[in-house]
Amino acid sequence: MAKMDRVSVRAYAKVNFTLDILGREGEFHLLDSLVSTVSLYDRVTAVRREDGALSVDFRGAEALGSVPPESNASRAARAFMQAFSAGGADVRIERHIPAGGGLGSSSADAAGVLLALAGLYGVTDMVRLKAIADSLGSDTGYLLTGGWARMTGRGERIAPLADMPVLHLLLLLPPAGVSTPRCFAEYDRRGEAFAPRTQLAIGLLRAEGAGGARAFTNALTRAACSLGGGVARALEEAKALSPLGSGMSGSGSACYAVFASEADCLAARERYTGNAAALCVRTVPQR
């Protein structure tokens, strides 16, 4: 791949349709999750510099949540430069994915930075890029490629899934996010056990399309609802909007209602009268 002077990529959000917790490995929870990228994305643009300097700039509504001084995107940029002895770059991230929603916003940005810089400097070694991504967060390696997948382990083991349907989702985004560490801590404190559903959900989706959404479940849902932030209300509203299925993504706060068509999704958005932001998206294929 030839080097370029400017590269722009879409950094897609993800939705967890199942999230089973199978135990622990040290400080990490062991997961089994059916996940797909969706058509909500941040835009990451990288422009070559010849002086070796590196900058990462975020642009986007403050309502999407603050960006920490040491962001995953900045860490990704520095790790790429070190791993591939690359020159400098100016990286701009136009934000659309809300932070604290369980949609992978910081992981998406980190993956987008790696992909944009790889395009800028002609890097095609996906094995090394995946290793960098895995060091940055459990979803980042997956979001390099996206699409339908089954994530296991700490989230670093990715099995792409073929023959999966396109789902249309009405995302309900409460004003407040949920802290992932707090949600997992609350899950541990509650000591609840839930039967795994990921394998069942994969089989039903392949057999029935959107009708298989009735198998969607998330072991963190009760914990997230107990932490407030509007999750419980958004989840009840999502359930009322679709007979096919609904749920919460990741550790919240984003909830979703499932539809078989864009028209049905748009009609549900018109009916919705709650206080969460409502956005129609669809699942998108692997890069």
pLDDT of residue 63: 46
Q: Domain range holding 79?
A: 6-160
How many structural domains is the chain composed of? Answer: 2
pLDDT of residue 4: 80
Which of 114, 133, 160 is the last residue in one of the domains?
Answer: 160
pLDDT of residue 91: 97
Q: Is residue 206 part of a domain?
A: yes
* Angle, helix 105-121 to helix 126-136, in steps of 10 degrees: 150
Same domain, 156 and 175: no
Q: Is residue 1 part of a domain?
A: no
pLDDT of residue 3: 67
d(CA 91, CA 115): 12
Question: Which residues, given as ranges, of the chain have pLDDT below 50?
Answer: 63
Q: CATH number, domain at 246?
A: 3.30.70.890
Same domain, 69 and 202: no
- Phi then psi dihedrals of residue 284, to 5 deg: -120, 150
Same domain, 146 and 254: no
Same domain, 174 and 254: yes
Same domain, 153 and 11: yes
Same domain, 270 and 175: yes
- Is 14 marked active-site? yes
Same domain, 231 and 212: yes
Same domain, 150 and 247: no
- Is 139 marked active-site? yes
Catalytic entry in 5, 14, 32, 239: 14
Q: Is residue 133 part of a domain?
A: yes
How many CB atoms are located within 10 Å of the residue 51 CB? Answer: 7
First to last CA, the chain: 17
Same domain, 49 and 137: yes
Q: CATH number, domain at 155?
A: 3.30.230.10
Same domain, 190 and 123: no
Same domain, 153 and 187: no
Catalytic entry in 20, 32, 42, 139: 139
pLDDT of residue 279: 97
Which of 126, 160, 194 is the last residue in one of the domains?
Answer: 160
pLDDT of residue 50: 86
Which of 160, 191, 212 is the last residue in one of the domains?
Answer: 160
Same domain, 155 and 174: no
Q: Is residue 142 part of a domain?
A: yes
Please give the model's pTM, rounded to 2 decimal places.
0.94
In 3-state terms, the chain is what percent helix, strand and coil (to 5)? 35, 30, 35
